[in-house]
Structure 1
Amino acid sequence: MRPLWCQKNESIGKMKTKKRVLCLLSIWMCTVGAAFADGAPEERAPGEKKGDAIITIFSDAHSGFGSVNDDRGFNLDRAYIGYQYALPHGLQLKAVLDFGQSKDVNDHQRIGYVKNAQITWKQNGWTLNAGLITTTQFKVQEDFWGKRYVMKSFQDEYKFGSSADLGVSVAYKFNKVVSADVIVANGEGYKKVQVKDGLQYGAGVTLTPVEGLTVRAYGSYNESVEEGEKGITNLAAFVGYKHTAFSVAAEYNYQTNTKYVPDCDQDGFSVYASAQLSKKISLFGRWDLLSSEKDWNKDADGMAGMVGTEFKLGKYIKLAPNFRLWSPKTEGGKTASYVYLNASFAI
């Protein structure tokens, strides 16, 4: 349980004025897209594909040891089903359904959500997205980690933010070294498309000074709307290097006023690496550390580690047997160990 000074004030205050910024930006984005799409259609080569199906399934078999010996079985973590379609003049439409676990229902059931429903425009270094879009808060880290089917990237795993939300994002690549992006979103995630009137504002800068090296800094602010709440600030720093034979990366993440509760701050590190043994086989490892200020969330704080091997079976299937440890910060808490076999089926 959280200390009383850190519990959320549930009384609902006077709501802020209804926001129009997000709607206006979305309408502007669609208008821009329509303007560029207007006119004679682009010629396509005979047989050129215009669209692609999106079918992705994440599953696992796992077993705990010792104090978590009863935690074992088979699991369907995620199923994504969707379609993306390329239009003339750099436009693209994308819609994806997400079927996964929810704390709101029995563990054996799955709930479906619309994960993405977006229009994208790319031209001359610009990338614009509008609708239910992929957020930019930890997309670079997630792509670099590259093993979402094994474990989510740090901010996603420990609920620092959502991977998709209703909003508008704009990115621009200035040159081969510097790119920047901004996003305005609801801040509630794709499972709660709009609950409150607050908005989330974010901005990031990505540097690629040499081939294979990526450096990124990101910050966002999620407005509070109820009396007794405070806005959430997220700050993140990332650096990673990827070579044909190996990759290594580290990130630091800091969040203030978690779940809008004043002074409930938390932070954490994540370090991960991989080594390519052949075209089909690689080794990987990861270490996470999650901490809360003044131990307000000590029941969830702790250290996680994993090592594993990834096998690519053809074009569409990946298997990753791995060993994991979780060491809780709680006094007297027992270290939990697991063996997993994660699988990804994607086209």
Structure 2
Amino acid sequence: MNRINKVTRWASALMAAGAAGAIPVAHADIELGNGISITGFLDMSYSSVKPDGGSSTESIGIDQFETDFKYAGSSGVSAQVDIEYGDGFDGSDDETFVEQAFITKAFNEQFSVKVGRFLSYTGWETEEPTGLFQYSGTGYAPYFYGFYQNGVSAYYNGGKFAVMGSAVASAFNPLDRNSIDGVDDKMGYEFGVSVTPVEGLTAKAFYISDNDTDTDIVNVWVSYAVSGFTFAGEYNTADYGGINYDYDGDGVIDATGVEGDGYLLMANYATGPYGFTVRYHDFEIEDAAGATTDDGSAITLSPSYKVGGNLLLVGEYRMDSSDTRGDSDLFAIEALFTF
């Protein structure tokens, strides 16, 4: 799971799945009997990145393979365990690990509570490639999105209005169990609201307060789907409390500074098996003196083609510009198989 090229979130996967031709159809949920089913995907790609004034770096192989096991019990109790082969939470390559594992209790059709390790609600772009309209994610998710979290979450769906909230060990670190050497950490919290006032229009707003890292984040996005088109816009703002933090545990500081802002604009058109996406994003992170510690913007062009109900081919050309990282061009071809 590459957090630069595969930054995604399940909250927008449901919206993305409604755009015919944009991404594969929903997973099949293969029934094994006695309430047990499985689903998953295989993601493979070739990519070439050429920095300005430098040599190209090429990569080919399996990006991610995931199998999700689901159990539907009685009295509204269900469970899900996602097993992934890819980049581990600690940044290590080619690992097989438990990505999610949680139990859900549905009290009625509107209200449910889950406990375990689960994915943050935040972000327009999904954590998994099955929910993206293009090959790459923006790359700014470690600054503005929550990640996999250990804790408890509640969700209320009132039709055109929904409310969600979580209390977790950490909003950003799935390996955090709220204790370091026997000393309790501070908790993290996430709150969100969603409205769908008319058909095709969805707006969501989220607030993350991670007391352990002294971080506060606001994430807002809006999407509108009509006549084969899907339009989306997202805005993020964050206060990092003036600290450095390694969000994904890979030994690299992800947030350096006191504040950050970022946004994206996206348009997709899909007809039959064909789809085409245009996206622009921009973000900047500043320190206490107002100096930029990280930034980036990019224009992404991405055609896609459904070979069948389970196989999607995605191409991408991306032009990145950054004062801190330098400029580069990306070319990629992706094959995404779902089951």
1:37-186 correspondence to structure 2 within 5 Å: 50-65=35-50, 67-101=53-87, 109-122=93-106, 123-138=108-123, 141-142=125-126, 146-147=131-132, 150-152=135-137, 156=141, 158-174=142-158, 176-186=159-169
8 Å CA contact retained: 2:48, 2:330: yes
2:8 maps to which residue?
none
Higher strand share goes to which structure?
2
Q: How big is the shift at 1:220? A: 1.4
Asked if 1:232 is matched to 2:215, the reply is: yes
Structure 1: give runs of 5+ residues left out of the alignment. 1-46, 225-229
| Cα separation, 1, equivalents of 2:174 and 2:127 | 19
* 1:310 pairs with one of 299, 304, 316: 304
1:9 maps to which residue?
none
* 2:224 pairs with one of 241, 249, 273: 241
1:222 maps to which residue?
210
Asked if 1:257 is matched to 2:257, the reply is: no
Q: How big is the shift at 1:137? A: 2.2
Q: How big is the shift at 1:57? A: 2.1
2:335 maps to which residue?
343
| Cα separation, 1, equivalents of 2:116 and 2:90 | 26
Pair 1:304–1:194, CA change in 2 (3 A)? farther
8 Å CA contact retained: 2:125, 2:132: no
Provide the alpha-carbon RMSD of the alignment: 3.0
| Cα separation, 1, equivalents of 2:294 and 2:335 | 27
| Cα separation, 2, equivalents of 1:69 and 1:49 | 55
8 Å CA contact retained: 1:268, 1:291: yes
| Cα separation, 2, equivalents of 1:242 and 1:54 | 26
Name the SS of the counterpart of 1:210 in structure 2: coil
Q: TM-score, normalised by structure 2?
A: 0.75
Pair 1:102–1:128, CA change in 2 (3 A)? closer
Pair 1:263–1:70, CA change in 2 (3 A)? closer
| Cα separation, 2, equivalents of 1:283 and 1:258 | 40
| Cα separation, 1, equivalents of 2:337 and 2:305 | 12
8 Å CA contact retained: 1:136, 1:183: no
| Larger RCO of the pair (alpha carbons < 8 Å, separation 6+) | 2
Pair 1:149–1:165, CA change in 2 (3 A)? farther
Total equivalences in the alignment: 289
Higher helix share goes to which structure?
1
| Cα separation, 2, equivalents of 1:117 and 1:339 | 35
| Cα separation, 2, equivalents of 1:68 and 1:193 | 42
Structure 2: give runs of 5+ residues left out of the alignment. 1-31, 245-255
Q: How big is the shift at 1:181? A: 0.6
Q: Using the aligned pairs only, state the percent identity.
A: 18
| Cα separation, 2, equivalents of 1:211 and 1:90 | 29
Pair 1:218–1:326, CA change in 2 (3 A)? same
Name the SS of the counterpart of 2:74 in structure 1: coil
1:274-285 correspondence to structure 2 within 5 Å: 274-276=268-270, 278-285=271-278
* Greater Rg over alpha carbons, structure: 1
Q: How big is the shift at 1:91? A: 2.4
| Cα separation, 1, equivalents of 2:41 and 2:134 | 10
Tell me the alpha carbon deviations over residues 189-240 of structure 1, each in whole angstroms, 9 at most, x when there is no partner.
Answer: 324444551211111111111111011111111012xxxxx61101111111
Name the SS of the counterpart of 1:142 in structure 2: coil
Q: How big is the shift at 1:88? A: 2.3
Name the SS of the counterpart of 1:211 in structure 2: coil
Q: How big is the shift at 1:69? A: 3.2
Q: How big is the shift at 1:92? A: 1.6
Tell me the alpha carbon deviations over residues 256-315 of structure 1, each in whole angstroms, 9 at most, x when there is no partner.
Answer: 117844952111001111001x22111012111010125878463111221011111212
